Amino acid sequence: MKPRTMDLFWRTASWLSGLTVSASVMFLIGFLLWQGIHALSPALFFGDTAWQDALFGRKPVFEGIWPAVVGTLSLVVLASLIAVPIGVAAGIYLSEYATIRQCRWIGSLVDLLSATPSIVMGLFGFTLILLLRRTMLPNAQTGLMLAAACIALIVLPYLIATTRASLQGIPEESRLLGASLGLTKWQHIRHTLIPLSAKGILGGVVLAIGRAAEDTAVILMTGVMARAGMPRNLWDKFEALPFQVYYLAAEHRNAAELAQGFGTALVLLIVTAALFGFSYWIERQAARRWDSG
Amino acid sequence: MGQRMKGDSPPDIRIDALRVCIGGRDVLCGIDLSLRKGEVMVVVGPSGSGKTTLLRAVNRLNESFPDCTTRGSVRMKLGDRIVDLYQDDLPLPEIRRRVGMVFQTPAILPFSIEKNIRLPLRVALGLKPQEIERRMEHALHDVGLWDEVKDRLNSPARMLSGGQQQRLCLARTIALDPEVLLLDEPTASLDFRAAARIEQWMVDHRDRYTILAVSHSLGQTRRIADRVCVLKDGRIVETFGRDRMADVEDFYARMEALF
């Protein structure tokens, strides 16, 4: 084929691919909005309970998705608290400390972890509880903390891979900068490499948050329950938005309940977008502080 | 820029039988070189001849690469004692503070102008705020950047022009009070006016630091070098002084032949 034709072909193909992605996302959001927007109301969130009572936990919410919103947010925050420090530290280890041999081994294990289906991870959590019950903790049961730990395992590979990649993407001279200024290895990592790769690392955190918010299979086995209400502590059963969507869609008895399902899906989308927004805000604050600090 | 007659005094840096092997390949082999304070030594040579590796052997920066081995000795006068960098147990961070380095492209940190200089002083040297302030101001004056940035020390360093960024990097290095400066093509990414300022700085400060620089430009080499060391395939093929650079035609012809 002539170079000009090739050029035209690839330009069109790239353009069409971009268009397909944008159109799919727009269609998805449009469809959700169309189906779910009229279900969005205080009643969807709080049912018959007054919103002030629900927000301050004075009265339980029976018919609304408010407990699921709280459950999902708690799950994401807890899973991030577990996974972000470990994932980022493991990424730093692989990029800065590990020998080529260690990198190969640990890298393969991380790949294996990322290939583990989430239902298997859920099963692992469930079995862990059974084991604990038979051994040390006869009262152990599935709940928020177990689900968060399993979700943390699921999102770890994202964090490790993005941290490692963004550290290794730093140009050679910048990588040598800390050492050339007489910084020790850790000072160099802390004061030059992490700031230089912060954007990439936060990208991984955003990915991990998104994944933690949407997972259903893991929590299905590890403590989610329809109509569990607000979790009273870290070991309690909980509700979650993706499970609520599944439950409403699968068990709906009338059109209104199905509409509620779409409304819940829309809320999940909004919650995830808000979490992304929050992460970008943190990134901007950090960048601003570094810039002028 | 008259030629110095320093041949009789003992060298401030003496490199003997230096051999650097990276990834199983000899990058430098049998390097013997002496440097004196007061003379700018410029290393020239084709790409891949080992110039950067030679510089990085003088502050042991090559060891940041896991597959690098270095043999031979690099002895230098630090304060009033002579140390062998590869034998004596001087900690690496200290070696690198006393042998400062500036890279080819301005390696600024994603911080403010001020913090770029303050950070190593605080973290590596653990200095008190007043001393940091004093050194920062002094270093910025020294590279002629103070008047340009004194009113915006808090703005991001990336907002500076390339030439200003490179002078900031130079200021950051000299604020650590090194005795030796390794300048790895410090003007390669700059326009001629910005490059001229850095060249002039090197000439003006050759009595204060022992300077080892790499240059790709033969014109620049003629302007700043007191001595030239020509590297090819990891070996020194010739070293000569200013007297051999006086005749432009002869100098270029010689370089043509050596490359």
What pLDDT score does A57 carry?
79
CA B145 to chain centre: 19
Angle between helix A144-168 and A118-134 (nearest 10): 130
What pLDDT score does A293 carry?
61
pLDDT above 80: residue A161: yes
CA A67 to chain centre: 19
Phi, psi of B68 (to 5 degrees): -110, 135
Residue appearing with tokens 């109301």: A41
C-alpha R_g of chain A: 23
Least confidently predicted of A52-61, A250-259, B196-205: A52-61
C-alpha distance from B111 to closest chain A C-alpha (Å): 4
Q: Contacts of residue A176 in chain B, CB cutoff 8 Å?
A: 56, 61, 64, 103
What pLDDT score does B2 carry?
41
Evaluate whether A143 touches A236 at the Cβ level (below 8 Å).
yes
pLDDT tier for residue B257 given thresholds of 50, 70 and 90: confident
Tokens of A248: 């409403």
pLDDT tens profile B134-168: 999 999 999 989 999 999 999 999 999 999 999 99
Least confidently predicted of A136-140, A266-270, B169-173: A136-140
Q: Contacts of residue B93 in chain A, CB cutoff 8 Å?
A: 182-184
Evaluate whether A221 touches A244 at the Cβ level (below 8 Å).
no
Tokens of A114: 């990322």
Minimal CA–CA distance to B136: which of B154, B109, B119, B118? B118
pLDDT, chain B, mean: 91
Q: Which residues pair with B43 in a beta bridge?
A: B214, B229
CA A39 to chain centre: 26
Q: Is B182 helix (H, G, I), strand (E, B) or coil?
A: strand
What pLDDT score does A270 carry?
93
Which of A171, A182, A290 is nearest residue B124 as measured by Cβ atoms? A182
Evaluate whether B132 touches B121 at the Cβ level (below 8 Å).
yes
pLDDT tens profile A177-204: 999 999 999 999 999 999 999 889 988 9
> What ipTM goes with this model?
0.87
What pLDDT score does A280 carry?
84
Minimal CA–CA distance to B118: which of B163, B180, B175? B175
Mean pLDDT, residues B1-23 taken together: 75
Q: Which residues pair with B76 in a beta bridge?
A: B13, B83
Interface A–B counts its CB contacts (< 8 A) at: 76
More confident residue, A71 or A52: A71
Minimal CA–CA distance to B181: which of B118, B139, B132, B141? B139
Half-sphere exposure of A25 (CA within 13 A, CB side): 6
Tokens of B139: 């270093």
CB contact under 8 A, A196 and B92: no
pLDDT above 60: residue A249: yes
pLDDT tens profile A280-292: 888 888 877 777 6
What is the per-residue DSSP string for A48-92?
A: TS-HHHHHTTSS--SSSSHHHHHHHHHHHHHHHHHHHHHHHHHHH
CA pair distance B103, A135, nearest whole angstrom = 60
pLDDT tens profile A100-139: 899 999 999 999 999 999 999 999 999 999 999 999 888 8
Outline where DSSP puts E strands in B51-158. Answer: 68-78, 81-84, 99-102
pLDDT tens profile B82-122: 999 998 888 999 999 999 999 999 999 989 999 999 999 99
pLDDT above 80: residue B10: no
pLDDT above 50: residue B183: yes
Selected residue of A103, A180, A189, A284 to mutate for chain B interface (largest B Cβ count, 10 A): A180
